[in-house]
């Protein structure tokens, strides 16, 4: 694998982790929202997906973001009889988002992004050294 290929693979990883962080940010933003329609369902947590794909132009495997999946976990409920979204028993359905899980997923995505960035920096430094040797 040449240096330009390693940069392209790292860039693909950074794009995939960026997409993952966007999905996680959406989950966190909607963690306490209720249904937009009376009797409807609240926001459903999205799960970011990624897949390895062979890029024939690069001659290497790169990671690609897939379509986010809807989490089938049950919704949370909270007793709040004064809420306009409450059912007859006084419970409000809340999203199936656990903020702690989302923060940990965000941290993992951030670390992966930083690792790809380190690969880019190291490759750039190696290219710079190569150019210096050729002078």
Q: Is residue 81 part of a domain?
A: no
pLDDT tens sequence across 100-133: 999 999 999 999 999 999 999 999 999 899 888 8
Alpha-carbon separation of residue 95 from 36, 74, 83 (angstroms): 12, 8, 15
Question: What is the structure's pLDDT at 43?
Answer: 96
Distance CA 15, CA 6 (A): 14
pLDDT, position 37 = 80
pLDDT tens, position by position, 74-105: 999 999 998 888 888 999 999 999 999 999 99
Residue 92 domain-assigned (yes or no): no
The total of structural domains in the chain comes to 1
68 in any annotated domain: yes
Helix (H) or strand (E) holding 55: strand 50-55
- Give the model's pLDDT for residue 86: 87
- Is it the case that residue 1 has pLDDT exceeding 80? no
Q: Which domain holds residue 120?
A: 3-73+99-134
| Residue 94 located in a structural domain | no
Residue 92, strand partner residues:
78
Q: Determine, yes or no, domain membership for 84.
A: no
| 59 torsion bin: left (phi>0), alpha (psi -120 to 50), beta (else) | left
State phi, psi for 88 to the nearest 5 degrees.
-65, -30
**Could you tell me which of 129, 112, 113 has the C-alpha nearest to residue 3?**
129
85 in a structural domain: no
Evaluate whether 113 touches 18 at the Cβ level (below 8 Å): yes
Q: What is the pTM of this model?
A: 0.86
**Cα of 83 vs its chain's centroid, Å:** 32
């Amino acid at each position: 694998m040449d240096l330009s290929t390693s940069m392209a693979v790292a860039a693909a990883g950074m794009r995939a982790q960026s997409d993952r962080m966007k999905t996680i940010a959406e989950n966190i933003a909607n963690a306490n929202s209720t249904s937009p329609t009376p009797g409807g369902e609240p926001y459903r947590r999205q799960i970011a997906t990624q897949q390895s794909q062979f890029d024939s132009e690069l001659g290497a495997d790169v990671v690609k973001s897939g379509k986010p999946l809807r989490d089938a976990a049950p919704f949370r409920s909270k007793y709040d009889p004064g809420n306009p979204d409450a059912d007859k028993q006084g419970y409000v359905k809340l999203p199936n988002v656990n903020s702690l899980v989302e923060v940990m997923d965000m941290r993992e995505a951030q670390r992966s992004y930083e690792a790809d960035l380190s690969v880019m920096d190291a490759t750039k430094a190696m290219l710079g050294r190569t150019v210096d040797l050729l002078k």
